[in-house]
Amino acid sequence: MKKLMQWGCVCVTLVVLSACAPSTRVILLPQGSNTTSAVDVKGTGGTVRLAAPYQTANVSQKGQLELTTTDPLVVMERYGSLLTKIPDAAEQFVLNFETGSSDLTAESQTLLPSILTRARTRQGGEIIVIGHTDRVGTVSANDALSLQRAIAIRQLFLDQGFRPDLIDAVGRGERSPLVPTADEVAEPKNRRAEVVVQ
């Protein structure tokens, strides 16, 4: 069986050993945010898409699919102990930089302590720092600057005692603007680092 998951959803797959029960059950659970998501479940007779919270795909031992819906109380009653093991959704923070440098803006410097505090409370402790630039300058120079920004933020975490093996720093240059602009436009919101704490 092939399952495709998009961000913003939690999917629970349960293998049931009873002969009369489905061999696999997939339930789409809601997240705390308002993002939409879906899960495709494939069986021998085709594919069903779970796109609403608590939709359920039951897959028989022969691979036949049945689409049903359950409710939160049933899920908690049957799978409450399993749900306590689902990790919290990743948190994402944005820090902005001064033009052409890896120096944080004054506003972002004031945000940094709260981000560090939130990162310390996370169970997984993994952090990804993704550096970005605006579209001023060459692509190669922006690639280097975005990585420099990500490494600078990573170092701030390391200076606070975070484990080096849990923090990755990558640069995206000008490829993923927060605010799309024409080339050579200095957009302050694009000079940023996204900090994803898992």
Domain containing 134 — which CATH number? 3.30.1330.60
What whole-number percentage of the chain has pLDDT above 90?
A: 61
Residues 160, 183, single domain; the answer is: yes
Residues 97, 186, single domain; the answer is: yes
Residue 38 phi, psi (nearest 5)? -155, 160
Extract the tokens encoding 189: 């919101």
Residues 104, 121, single domain; the answer is: yes
pTM, two decimals, is 0.65
Judged against a pLDDT cut of 60, whether residue 37 lies above it is answered with yes
What is d(CA 95, CA 194) in angstroms, rounded to the nearest whole number?
7
Residues 148, 99, single domain; the answer is: yes
Of 83, 115, 135, which one is at a domain's C-terminal end? 83
Q: pLDDT at position 158, please?
A: 96
Residues 99, 192, single domain; the answer is: yes
Of 41, 63, 83, which one is at a domain's C-terminal end? 83
Q: Which of 18-22, 51-55, 67-71 has the lowest mean pLDDT?
A: 18-22
Judged against a pLDDT cut of 60, whether residue 11 lies above it is answered with no
Judged against a pLDDT cut of 90, whether residue 88 lies above it is answered with no
Of 83, 108, 129, which one is at a domain's C-terminal end? 83
- 32 falls in which pLDDT band (50, 70, 90)? low
Sheet with 65-69: list strands edge to edge: 10-15, 24-29, 55-59, 65-69
Residues 133, 97, single domain; the answer is: yes
Q: pLDDT at position 22, please?
A: 64
What is d(CA 194, CA 140) in angstroms, rounded to the nearest whole number?
20
- 4 falls in which pLDDT band (50, 70, 90)? very low
Residues 57, 145, single domain; the answer is: no
Residues 95, 72, single domain; the answer is: no
Query: What is the span of the domain harbouring residue 133?
Result: 91-197
125-163, pLDDT tens digit by residue?
899 999 999 999 999 999 999 999 999 999 999 999 999
- Coil, helix or strand at residue 153: helix
Residues 62, 100, single domain; the answer is: no
Number of domains in the chain: 2
Residues 109, 66, single domain; the answer is: no
Type of residue numbered 92: Q
Residues 68, 10, single domain; the answer is: yes
Residues 97, 10, single domain; the answer is: no
